[in-house]
A and B are shown apart, each in its own frame.
Chain A
Amino acid sequence: MALDRWIALIILMICMAYGYAAFFTMDAGLPPFMQRNAIWPSTFPKVLSVLAITCALIILLGQGKSDDEAKEGDINYRRLMDYNLGQALLLLAMMAGYALMLRPVGFLISTVAFLTLGAMVLGERKLQFLLPVTLLATGLVWYLVQQVLGIYLRPLPYVFGTGG
């Protein structure tokens, strides 16, 4: 089975769970006065779940051919291992790490670390250029967002207080 049908199957399952919630569980807690309304909070989700299940079934069961040759310039997922999968996964892991570290470690340290390590994962080795660039960019963005625009970003680790 081609990947697009697998995805349709997964979406179908999600939509069935969604539809189940919309049809059977959502209205349980509906207060009586709302039950007299023409529209309930579950009305629109019910319509959507029916539509989505229909579409997913059309893709899953339809005879529409799934073209095996990837389009020009696109990535062929069947040969995923030939690409830099490791780098991509590492960068994603770093993004998740950045999300978790942003509050406790503070904006400045986590951003410099993310940008430097990110470039190094991609193969950059000239630290003498990389570090000044990331430091400058981090400082600039922090100054712009926090000082000019007034959106709060905690600059320093938690233990050093709130800063800014």
Chain B
Amino acid sequence: MLEGIMIGLSTAFTLTNLMMVIGGCLIGTFIGMLPGLGPMSIISIMIPVAITIGDPSAALILLAGVYYGAIFGGSTSSILINAPGVASTVATSFDGYPLARAGKAGKALTVAAISSFCGGSIGAILLMIFAPALATVALLFHSSEYFALMVVGLSAIAAFAGSGQVAKAMLMTVLGLIMATVGEGALFNLPRFTMGIMDLQSGFGFITLAMAMFALPEALYLVLDPSRSNNETGGEIKDLRITKAEAKSIAPVIGRQSIQGFLIGVLPGAGATIASFLGYAVERNIAPKEEQDQFGKGSVKGLAAPEAANNAACTGSFVPLLTLGIPGSGTTAILLGALIALNVNPGPRLMVDQPEIFWAVIISMYIGNLVLLVLNLPLIPYIAKVLAVPRNYLIPFILFFTMMGAYIGQNNATELLLLVGLGICATVLRFADYPLAPLLIGFILGSMLEDNFARSMQIYDGIQFIVERPMTMGLLGIAAILIVLPSYRARRARNRAKGIADGD
């Protein structure tokens, strides 16, 4: 392994390759800030550039830089204007945006940058050590386990609901799942619930829904209540640095979530989105009571957890790609395409036949992370200045960017009308204190959940796969506990408050 690291280092540390990584990070960061252009679209845009370079190592190093830059850029728009353009940064906005509203945008971005850096770096180290072994474990997961894993992810929505709100969060999740069934599913090729409207044939767009659920209600709130925008920040960026106490409190979070995120990322199909949601939920559940209340209102831990998990998972998703040639996520699928175009065949033989590529990718991930941190930490005060833009300019621009995000993905103006309609619904739901995040999570996981469910139903010719596969049953058991426990706790607390003795 040491020899491999040396090969990787010598490949990566040439002037051209370092320039590639720096350029890639910058391009990724700036384009990634536009909501609607996630890592996947940016990498696919960069592929022609990468292929013309010709040298597979240099091309991959460029793409890795773009990848990490795009992830960081996506977190920026979630934190600053509550507009998560990529599914995996949705969890970032839960605590990042409240922090930014409290005038700590600089700190939030710093925490995000550092957590991403640690998550990515720890992921890269784990990738180096465990890649071959993990590849075989990932293959043990069949579609029924994926189904169960997603049910666990969805049950963790209890983490997003306050006490006594579990039913609301559940309803929102199921509503999200229902919205995911609109359109033509992959397995049936049959349009469902489209009500004869052609534009619904392909279902609701993810970005449209994300913008409608988060960015649009927030912008409308800013319009409705001008006092929200001129809060104590006054556009000035204070608290750029993290205090020692905060660093101490987020260090274990980052450590745990990097490992958990990496392991989830290794499973093909699970990926960064589930890793970030689960990371957030797990950290909220194991936090002490007083810190638990801070989650969702600007907790540094709640920001660090999804950021670390999502970056570690991105790195983890390279395990099946490099060792088995199976792309586990959309982004790695595009990278696989790029690799094949560059005449590299990822698979079990890659480590043996072309070790310099395998190791160069891993080392370049590490360098990409480092460069990103070095480049972006000084830029953070300027990026955070976005919030200092006068309200009269900021709000129309936020509205415009939400619309651009929805439009350029689909190139369909009906999508914009849907955006406005869904945005109004989301605002009304927010008035009534319904949590909106579960709806989006349900929507994102909905189609994957149904596909895996359908596949296991077909393989086992019925529902018995739940009992026949112990791992599935175990995961579903965890899911049931996750749902029952919070409502039981809330009920007991209510009874205790009423003075009714609880039988033990």
Interface residues of chain A, those whose CB is within 8 Å of chain B, are: 2-4, 6-8, 11, 15, 18, 21, 26, 34, 37-39, 41, 43-45, 48-49, 51-52, 55-56, 58-59, 62, 64-65, 71, 73, 75, 77, 80, 83-85, 87-88, 91-92, 95-96, 98-100, 102-103, 111, 114-115, 118-119, 122-124, 130, 133, 137, 141, 144-145, 149-153
CA distance A83 to B228 in the complex (A): 12
Within 8 A of A (CB), among B181-238: 181, 185, 188, 190, 192-193, 220-221, 223-226, 228
Q: Is B424 an interface residue (CB 8 A)?
A: yes
CA distance A131 to B128 in the complex (A): 54
Q: Are B193 and A75 in contact (CB under 8 A)?
A: no
A31 CB → nearest B CB, Å: 10
Can you give 8 contacting A-B residue pairs, CB < 8 Å?
Answer: A8-B171, A41-B192, A48-B177, A59-B168, A75-B225, A95-B416, A118-B396, A145-B404
Per CB-CB distance, the 5 closest pairs between chain A and chain B, nearest first, are A118-B396, A99-B416, A55-B171, A77-B431, A124-B392
Residues of chain A within 8 A (CB-CB) of B37 are: 149
Given contact pairs A39-B457, A122-B395, A150-B45, A15 touches B178 in the complex (Cβ within 8 A): yes
Given contact pairs A26-B192, A75-B431, A149-B45, A83 touches B392 in the complex (Cβ within 8 A): no
B229 CB → nearest A CB, Å: 10
Q: Are A88 and B403 in contact (CB under 8 A)?
A: no
Q: Are B420 and A41 in contact (CB under 8 A)?
A: no
Q: Are B420 and A96 in contact (CB under 8 A)?
A: yes
Residues of chain B within 8 A (CB-CB) of A85 are: 224
Given contact pairs A84-B223, A102-B416, A145-B404, A114 touches B432 in the complex (Cβ within 8 A): no
B321 CB → nearest A CB, Å: 25
Q: Are B399 and A103 in contact (CB under 8 A)?
A: no
Q: Are B413 and A3 in contact (CB under 8 A)?
A: no
Give the nearest-CB partner of A45 in chain B.
Answer: B181
Given contact pairs A39-B457, A84-B226, A48 touches B396 in the complex (Cβ within 8 A): no
CA distance A111 to B298 in the complex (A): 34
Q: Are A55 and B167 in contact (CB under 8 A)?
A: yes
Name B168's contact: one of A4, A51, A96, A111 (CB within 8 Å): A4
Q: Is B164 an interface residue (CB 8 A)?
A: yes
The listed residue with most A CB atoms (<10 A of its CB), out of B170, B190, B223, B408, is: B223
Give the nearest-CB partner of B423 in chain A.
Answer: A92
Residues of chain A within 8 A (CB-CB) of B174 are: 48, 51-52, 55
B77 CB → nearest A CB, Å: 14
Residues of chain B within 8 A (CB-CB) of A51 are: 170, 174
Q: Are B171 and A84 in contact (CB under 8 A)?
A: no
Q: Is B344 an interface residue (CB 8 A)?
A: no
Q: Are B403 and A52 in contact (CB under 8 A)?
A: no
Name A37's contact: one of B31, B407, B416, B458 (CB within 8 Å): B458
The listed residue with most A CB atoms (<10 A of its CB), out of B397, B414, B429, B433, is: B433
CA distance A122 to B226 in the complex (A): 10
Residues of chain A within 8 A (CB-CB) of B458 are: 37-39
Given contacts A41-B190, A91-B395, 15 further A-B contacts (CB under 8 A): A7-B429, A11-B175, A21-B193, A43-B457, A55-B170, A55-B171, A59-B167, A73-B228, A75-B225, A84-B223, A84-B224, A99-B414, A118-B395, A118-B400, A123-B392
Q: Are A92 and B461 in contact (CB under 8 A)?
A: no
Q: Are A44 and B399 in contact (CB under 8 A)?
A: no
Q: Is B14 an interface residue (CB 8 A)?
A: no
Given contact pairs A7-B428, A44-B181, A118-B396, A102 touches B407 in the complex (Cβ within 8 A): yes
The listed residue with most A CB atoms (<10 A of its CB), out of B34, B168, B429, is: B168
Give the nearest-CB partner of B224 in chain A.
Answer: A83
Residues of chain B within 8 A (CB-CB) of A77 are: 431-432
A59 CB → nearest B CB, Å: 5
Q: Is B130 an interface residue (CB 8 A)?
A: no
Q: Are B396 and A4 in contact (CB under 8 A)?
A: no
B75 CB → nearest A CB, Å: 20
B245 CB → nearest A CB, Å: 25
Residues of chain B within 8 A (CB-CB) of A122 are: 223, 391-392, 395-396
Q: Are A52 and B171 in contact (CB under 8 A)?
A: yes
B154 CB → nearest A CB, Å: 11
Given contact pairs A45-B192, A102-B413, A102-B416, A4 touches B177 in the complex (Cβ within 8 A): no
Q: Are B192 and A64 in contact (CB under 8 A)?
A: no
CA distance A151 to B409 in the complex (A): 9
Q: Is B379 an interface residue (CB 8 A)?
A: no
Residues of chain A within 8 A (CB-CB) of B181 are: 44-45, 48
The listed residue with most A CB atoms (<10 A of its CB), out of B390, B392, B408, B411, is: B392
Name A95's contact: one of B228, B393, B403, B450 (CB within 8 Å): B403
Q: Is B18 an interface residue (CB 8 A)?
A: no
Residues of chain B within 8 A (CB-CB) of A3 are: 428, 431-432
Residues of chain B within 8 A (CB-CB) of A99 are: 403, 413-414, 416-417, 419-420
Residues of chain B within 8 A (CB-CB) of A8 are: 171
A29 CB → nearest B CB, Å: 8
Q: Are A98 and B416 in contact (CB under 8 A)?
A: yes
Residues of chain B within 8 A (CB-CB) of A62 are: 167
The listed residue with most B CB atoms (<10 A of its CB), out of A26, A38, A65, is: A38
CA distance A99 to B420 in the complex (A): 9
Q: Is B94 an interface residue (CB 8 A)?
A: no
Name A83's contact: one of B225, B400, B454 (CB within 8 Å): B225
Q: Are B453 and A44 in contact (CB under 8 A)?
A: yes
Q: Is B434 an interface residue (CB 8 A)?
A: yes
0/1 interface trace, chain B 366-400, chain A, CB 8 Å (1 if under): 00000000000000000000000011110111011
Give the nearest-CB partner of B417 in chain A.
Answer: A99
Residues of chain B within 8 A (CB-CB) of A37 are: 458
Q: Is B462 an interface residue (CB 8 A)?
A: yes
The listed residue with most B CB atoms (<10 A of its CB), out of A85, A98, A103, A124, is: A98
0/1 interface trace, chain B 447-464, chain A, CB 8 Å (1 if under): 000100110011011100
Q: Are A95 and B399 in contact (CB under 8 A)?
A: yes
Residues of chain B within 8 A (CB-CB) of A7 are: 428-429, 432, 434
